[in-house]
Chain A
Amino acid sequence: MNRQTILESFRGFISPKTLAYPRQPSVPPDGFRGKPELDAEKCVGCGACAQTCPMGAINVTDEVERSIRVWYGKCSFCGRCQDVCPEDAISLTSAYELAVFDKNKAAAGIKIEFESCLECGKKFFPARQLNKSFERMEPILKKRNVSYEELRSLDGVCPSCRERPEEFSKRKLFLLNFG
């Protein structure tokens, strides 16, 4: 009990330093790692975030559509998914009020449509990822004078159909012309 602490106490008496949190929202600083959110427009369904997540909080399940789900109960908010995503579709927002009564509700997910095989009609690959990879290959296709439709007819076929003899010969021909 010396003069400094007494003066501090009286200073605190006049102006308390408590944040008025529940009445006024409390904004975290820039770069705060809050809950990750998926952007349904940008995501291509590659699953890189699920592969790199150290906790295994992001799950990719394939049924009629590919669904990608982030479960906040296992997330450690490290930001590796944000670093690795090629399309900047998953990012850590600054929302931190995540309390729930049922732990399965603390999650976020999106669904990506599958592309159907041209031959057998089975769904085998996310449509948007296929389109995106074609977009990335456009300069090379122009340089080599390969048309988009030709590549599409080759790549739009599911892996089991690619093993059939007529497909096999078609591909070998294409690769010989390409090289």
Chain B
Amino acid sequence: MPGEARGILEKETLPPKLRVKAMSKGIVSKLRQKSPWVMHVPCGGCNGCDIEVVAALTPLYDLERFGALQKGSPRHADILAVTGPVTVQVKERLKRVYALVPNPKIVMAIGSCAISGEVFADGYAFGGPLDQTIPVDVYVPGCPPRPEAIIHGVAQALTKL
């Protein structure tokens, strides 16, 4: 084949209608990455990670530069930022909050407590690591993770939107 002989493979060309659809999907996906609305769900624990998440929204580490707003209702959110070890009481409610978030969505497990329970792993109130309750996309270890580490995690998560 002529393309192979030159070492250049031809790009697969789509018919025009599908090409517009693919290009618009690319534009929509790019714009979706520019406006991630975050909902913060604290699930018990020491609240250290909660303070760091809220600190990421302060003027020093401004998250609104990237279009991220903190929204109160899960129906408005794209990213669900879950902190703290999932206690037995909160487990069912967390599943309901997860079901309320419309697709496409991303779940971030922030802090080592959300990943594995850390200090609380053998406690009576621990309901299991976060990915046994809801599917998780990005894990951010730290105790607590710095706001810059959380911003780094959000940037990694956005490539999946």
A residues sitting closer than 8 Å to B (CB atoms) are: 12, 16-19, 21-22, 26, 28, 35, 54-56, 71-77, 96-103, 106
Q: Could you say which residues of chain B place their CB within 8 Å of the CB of A26?
A: 148
B142 touches A98 (CB 8 A): yes
Within the complex, what minimum Cβ distance (angstroms) separates A109 from chain B?
15
In the complex, A176 Cα to B21 Cα: how many Å? 89
A77 touches B152 (CB 8 A): no
Known A26-B148, A101-B139; 10 more pairs at CB < 8 Å: A19-B60, A73-B139, A74-B115, A75-B112, A75-B143, A77-B142, A96-B142, A99-B157, A101-B138, A102-B139
In the complex, A150 Cα to B116 Cα: how many Å? 49
Tell me whether A99 and B139 are in contact in the complex, defined as CB-CB below 8 angstroms, given that A18-B61, A22-B155 are known contacts: yes
In the complex, A99 Cα to B157 Cα: how many Å? 9
B residues sitting closer than 8 Å to A (CB atoms) are: 59-62, 65, 112, 115-119, 121, 131, 136-143, 145-146, 148-149, 151-153, 155-157, 160
In the complex, A17 Cα to B157 Cα: how many Å? 26
A73 touches B149 (CB 8 A): no
In the complex, A73 Cα to B140 Cα: how many Å? 8
B interface secondary structure, majority: helix
Who on chain B is nearest to A73 by CB?
B115
In the complex, A102 Cα to B140 Cα: how many Å? 10
B148 touches A76 (CB 8 A): no
Q: Which of A16, A54, A77, A97 has the most CB of B within 10 A?
A: A97
Q: Could you say which residues of chain A place their CB within 8 Å of the CB of B136?
A: 103
Q: Could you say which residues of chain B place their CB within 8 Å of the CB of A18?
A: 59-62, 65
In the complex, A75 Cα to B139 Cα: how many Å? 13
Q: Could you pull out 23 A-B pairs where Cβ atoms are within 8 angstroms?
A: A16-B59, A18-B60, A18-B62, A21-B148, A22-B152, A54-B119, A55-B112, A71-B116, A72-B141, A73-B141, A74-B112, A74-B116, A75-B118, A75-B143, A76-B118, A76-B119, A77-B142, A97-B149, A98-B145, A98-B149, A99-B156, A100-B139, A106-B139
A73 touches B155 (CB 8 A): no
Q: Could you say which residues of chain B place their CB within 8 Å of the CB of A75?
A: 112, 118, 141, 143
A interface secondary structure, majority: loop
B148 touches A97 (CB 8 A): yes
Who on chain A is nearest to B64 by CB?
A18
In the complex, A17 Cα to B153 Cα: how many Å? 22
Within the complex, what minimum Cβ distance (angstroms) separates B45 from chain A?
12
Q: Could you say which residues of chain A place their CB within 8 Å of the CB of B119?
A: 54-55, 76
In the complex, A56 Cα to B112 Cα: how many Å? 13
In the complex, A28 Cα to B139 Cα: how many Å? 21
Q: Could you say which residues of chain B place their CB within 8 Å of the CB of A98?
A: 140-142, 145, 149
B61 touches A103 (CB 8 A): no
In the complex, A102 Cα to B141 Cα: how many Å? 11
Who on chain B is nearest to A106 by CB?
B141
B59's partner among A17, A54, A96, A102 (CB-CB below 8 A) is A17
A73 touches B112 (CB 8 A): yes
Q: Could you say which residues of chain B place their CB within 8 Å of the CB of A74?
A: 112, 115-118, 121
